[in-house]
Amino acid sequence: MSRKLARRLGMFAALALVMAFTLSPYAWLVVSSFKASSEIFTRTPNWSLSGATLKNYVWALGPTGGNLGIFFWNTILAAGLTALITAVLGAMGGYAMARYAFPGRRFLALALLLSPMFQGPPVMIPFYRILTTLKLLNTIPGLVLVYLSLTLPICIWLMAGFFRSLPVELEEAALVDGCSPFGAFARILLPLTVPGLAATSLYAFVVAWNDYQYALILTSSERAKTIQLSLSELLTFFGQTNWGGIMASGVLTTLPVVLIFMVIQKALVQGLTAGALKS
């Protein structure tokens, strides 16, 4: 018992050190966001919040500073739509991959798994020309379409693993009781895959929220620019770098993802683990 207790205490101590090393930069970001710029760069790091102020957040959200409000809304809209559409199409695509045998299914599964390798600069020009032709350049719907090409393949692959883990007898019993095939899918199977839907939705939201390269190429005005672009532009103001405001902007940029993760953390871990093991 003493060896087992010592081993467990050692494991917890190691985890605590890793967490402290990982979270300390973010903790410093949060603390610095409440300080004036002159108090951030000191020889001895000061974690005190005795002179805390909200001026940095006012500057970040206000029109005379970062003006992140409109970009914040643009990013929430783009990421939220991406997560919603990914969950809906990912569930239907995963169900089809898991339940129906059709020619080329194995090749399609492999293509879905490898598709993230063919993203980024090689497809920038094709995406730009396609959105220009569709008149969706510099729009939120255009960004959502591009983000779906990033999120859907992996999410379909994960959801297929979930549906494979569910017994076929559940659908057969529902069909015997009078459900249509879609009714059996929507009423019986879909509620059982809530952890998978949570995992895929959060994955899609984070991918869209953190995107910089596609938004940089495909947007150019306030009506479609995302918060990642606006945050990078704050660093290009010559002679007027407000480091406290930039720290506050960084906190605002990461806050939605942190809050969403805290709410659905249990379902996310369960969903990612089950989807990975059962695919």
Asked if residue 102 is part of any domain, the answer here is yes
Given a contact cutoff of 8 angstroms between Cβ atoms, the answer to whether 46 and 39 are in contact is yes
Sign of the alpha-carbon dihedral angle for 172, 174, 175, 180: negative
CA distance 217 to 138: 9
Asked if residue 18 is part of any domain, the answer here is no
Given a contact cutoff of 8 angstroms between Cβ atoms, the answer to whether 193 and 159 are in contact is yes
pTM of the model: 0.82
| Over residues 252-262, mean pLDDT | 83
The set of residues, in sequence order, having a beta carbon less than 8 Å from that of 73 and lying 6+ positions away, is none
Asked if residue 206 is part of any domain, the answer here is yes
Looking at residue 181, which CATH number applies to its domain?
1.10.3720.10
Asked if residue 147 is part of any domain, the answer here is yes
More confidently predicted of 245 and 146: 146
DSSP, residue by residue, 155-215: HHHHHHHHHHHS-HHHHHHHHHTT--HHHIIIIIIHHHTHHHHHHHHHHHHHHHHH--HHH
Asked if residue 129 is part of any domain, the answer here is yes
Asked if residue 1 is part of any domain, the answer here is no
pLDDT in tens, 105-153: 888 888 888 887 888 788 888 999 999 999 999 999 999 999 999 999 9
Amino acid identity of residue 58, one-letter, is: V
Residues above pLDDT 70, as percent of the chain: 91
pLDDT in tens, 86-107: 999 999 999 988 888 888 888 8
Amino acid identity of residue 77, one-letter, is: L
Separation in Å, CA 261 to CA 6, 93, 252: 32, 25, 15
**Domain ranges, residue 189:** 66-278
Asked if residue 75 is part of any domain, the answer here is yes
Place of tokens 């002159």: 38
Q: Is the pLDDT of residue 78 over 80?
A: yes
CA distance 209 to 51: 32
CA atoms within 13 A on the CB side of 134: 16
Place of tokens 């409109």: 70
Q: Is the pLDDT of residue 268 over 90?
A: no
- Helical (H) or strand (E) element with 24: helix 2-32
Residue 278 tokens, joined: 């059962």
pLDDT at res. 236 = 60
pLDDT at res. 176 = 86
Asked if residue 43 is part of any domain, the answer here is no
Q: Is the pLDDT of residue 274 over 60?
A: no
Residue 78 tokens, joined: 């783009």
What angle separates helix 194-210 from helix 265-278, to the nearest 10 degrees?
100
Look at the chain and report how many structural domains it folds into: 1
Q: Is the pLDDT of residue 197 over 80?
A: yes
Residue 224 tokens, joined: 């479609």
Separation in Å, CA 38 to CA 41, 42, 241, 242, 243: 6, 8, 12, 10, 9
